Amino acid sequence: MNEGAVYLWTVPMFHCNGWCFTWTLAALCGTNICLRKVTAKGIYSAIAKYSVTHFCAAPVVLNSIVNAPPKDTILPLPHVVHVMAAAAAPPPSILVAMFQNGFRVTHTYGLSEIYGPSVVCAWKPESWY
């Protein structure tokens, strides 16, 4: 994340992927955006309204983003949004759809609630669709 990142909370702050981001955002003069309820409509709205640059999400949240009805989306996105998904890998169809919609998903694994991910699945240039 770069200085001034705008991070959308879709997971609890002190759960997987959360712990490290609270401190990172403070160090980078970033902005925290919190949702009362995690929905695809709420995520798309926050991206448009607050210029969200990053968020973490479980694969089920990525699925809801991809399969949201058109009335709940804002496509094309106004800018690229970086997403980290942890634990179970999102299905390839979800990864492709997220990429096509302007999201850049990185899959990680590890005890990320205390020290960050121990494994990051790096994209190969030939794998971008």
Domain spans in the chain, listed from the N-terminal domain onward? 6-127
Task: Write the single-letter amino acid at 127.
Answer: S
Q: Do 26 and 59 meet the contact criterion of CB atoms below 8 Å apart?
A: no
Q: Do 119 and 108 meet the contact criterion of CB atoms below 8 Å apart?
A: yes
Question: In a 3-state reduction of DSSP, which class is residue 108?
Answer: strand
Q: pLDDT tens digit string along 72-87?
A: 999 899 999 999 887 7
pLDDT tens per residue, the chain (129 residues)?
889 999 999 876 666 555 677 788 889 999 999 999 999 999 999 999 999 999 988 889 999 999 999 999 998 999 999 998 877 888 889 999 999 999 999 888 766 555 566 667 777 776 655
Predicted TM-score (pTM) of the model is: 0.86
- CATH architecture for residues 6-127: 3-Layer(aba) Sandwich (3.40)
Tokens of 122: 């790096």
Backbone angles phi, psi at 31, to 5 degrees: -120, 135
30 by Cβ neighbours in 10 Å (0-12 / 13-18 / 19+) ranks as buried
Place of tokens 């399969």: 67
